[in-house]
Amino acid sequence: AQKITQTQPGMFVQEKEAVTLDCTYDTSDPSYGLFWYKQPSSGEMIFLIYQGSYDQQNATEGRYSLNFQKARKSANLVISASQLGDSAMYFCAMRERMDSSYKLIFGSGTRLLVRP
Amino acid sequence: DAMVIQNPRYQVTQFGKPVTLSCSQTLNHNVMYWYQQKSSQAPKLLFHYYDKDFNNEADTPDNFQSRRPNTSFCFLDIRSPGLGDAAMYLCATAHGPTNEKLLFGSGTQLSVL
């Protein structure tokens, strides 16, 4: 069963506008973590933001914020004031327990294109 | 300053010819991961190390092996690459098992001819 779902294969946004990238997840573990990564065309995965399941407030990192709605199991990424350099693939990921450690499982990604 | 370094950036190998990809880290992180990412797909975990403890994903093909001789280095060996193994291979590290943040290297793009 799909544990991380990103329903938007591609998104467009005008430069300087805000954009929301959707992510829903499924887990029975009460302790979990949610991540967003950016992957430019060069290939490296760049950490953007993290939200723990017990965190009371939504995470923010500069222009990035995470709209965490626990009851709905959603963790949408909001990018404010989009820049041309924000054009990239964006992956939502969830930390999942495995034996003595954890692993990240990724959604299928959303390709964001920022228009000038 | 790159903290997770993958070499080479691009690797070309022949069908069936063994190939080794390398990853090094300067962070002294306990956990190292290898992910495979095919074009336009999500990264897929192959295996990971927690210190010297090796953990293989159930669906990782036997063709893929890994070595971690010390904390800093981790290798991915593909014993007999097939055309379907062409992909980006991403190495990542984390300080501990709760890994609030995985740090990724820039990846090795593997082509199989």
Query: Are residues A47 and B98, on separate chains, in Cβ contact within 8 Å?
Result: no
Give one DSSP letter per residue of chain B, joined into a string: --SEEEE-SEEEE-TT--EEEEEEESS--SEEEEEEE-TTS--EEEEEEETTEEEE-TTS-TTEEEE-SSSSEEEEEESS--GGG-EEEEEEEESSTT-SS-EE---EEEEE-
Out of A101, A104, A106, closest to residue B55 by CB: A101
* Chain B hits for A45, Cβ within 8 Å: 43, 90, 92, 102, 104, 107
* Chain A hits for B34, Cβ within 8 Å: none
Q: What is the mean pLDDT of residues B19-45?
A: 93
CA distance A9 to chain B (A): 10
Q: What is the mean pLDDT of residues B70-92?
A: 95
Cβ B102 vs Cβ B27: under 8 Å: no
Residue B44 has pLDDT above 60, yes or no: yes
Q: Which of B111, B106, B84 is nearest to B7 (CA)?
A: B106
Q: Which residues contact B13 (CB under 8 A, 6 or more apart)?
A: B19, B78, B81, B110, B111, B112, B113
Cβ B99 vs Cβ A102: under 8 Å: yes
Query: Are residues B107 and A44, on separate chains, in Cβ contact within 8 Å?
Result: yes
* Chain B hits for A106, Cβ within 8 Å: 42-44
d(C-alpha B17, C-alpha B5), whole Å = 24
Q: What is the mean pLDDT of residues B96-111?
A: 83
Query: Are residues A44 and B105, on separate chains, in Cβ contact within 8 Å?
Result: yes
d(C-alpha B86, C-alpha B109), whole Å = 8
CB of B26 less than 8 A from some CB of A: no
Interface of A with B (CB under 8 A): 33, 35, 37, 42-47, 50, 52, 91, 95, 98-109
Tens-digit pLDDT profile for residues A3-52:
999 999 999 999 999 999 999 999 888 888 999 999 999 888 999 999 99
Q: What percent of chain A has pLDDT over 70?
A: 95
Q: Which of A58, A115, A47, A57 is nearest to A86 (CA)?
A: A115
Q: Which of B57, B56, B75, B60 is nearest to B18 (CA)?
A: B75
